[in-house]
Copies of this chain bind each other. A is one copy, B any other.
């Protein structure tokens, strides 16, 4: 049974789109889905969908994220709201966008729900995207680069336990520069949000590195104390 919702004034549709970053094989990657329906059928796009009547845009983004990646409790934050009147050929659609950092190892590929094909693309090899998603993606990348300069968000892209070398590689991939090992270690340890474990790498063909984990409580405390800025 089909029902119509009628209003006195025209209303836009509201969607959320997510820029989901991952890190793998020394590369920063983004999760894209292949559209199964028109418009832009067969084109790659950011995962997203319509905001339901009973959920906030944050909840919608979290739901999409969990549907697309099987991941919950992920770092994500609002990016920007895009509202060009002609950004969607179906009509007036305003999209509230989010960006998220996940760790690809934990990622469980979702058996093609909506018959969609999902793939991680290195940020250097993004195909042509549907809608204005290219613009959204670029804004997210810019935000990530700015943010990482102030906040130790790089850890969200790694496993729970990681080495400082791995973390440095994340930073180098995102910022596209080489960093000095000693200075990087000094700077990242001075933030005091990393905890060194009594545990080392195994089976590596070189001196085994200590593993660290992220001290989320400490981080949130510092954040509340105004230590980091929203960016």
Q: Which residues from chain A sit less than 8 Å from chain B, CB to CB?
A: 2-14, 50-51, 53-58, 78, 80-81, 83-85, 92, 94, 96, 142-143, 146, 149, 229-231
Residues of B within 8 A of A231 (CB): 229-231
A26 CB, nearest partner CB in chain B, Å? 24
Minimum Cβ distance to chain B for residue A138 (Å): 12
A12 to B229, CA, bound (A): 31
B78 touching A56 by the CB < 8 A rule? no
Residues of B within 8 A of A5 (CB): 6-11
Residues on the B chain within 8 Å of A81, using CB? 57, 78, 81, 96
Shortest distance between the CB of A52 and any CB in chain B (Å)? 8
Nearest CB in chain B to that of A58: its residue? B83
Contact (A57, B94) CB under 8 Å given A12-B11, A78-B81, A230-B231: yes
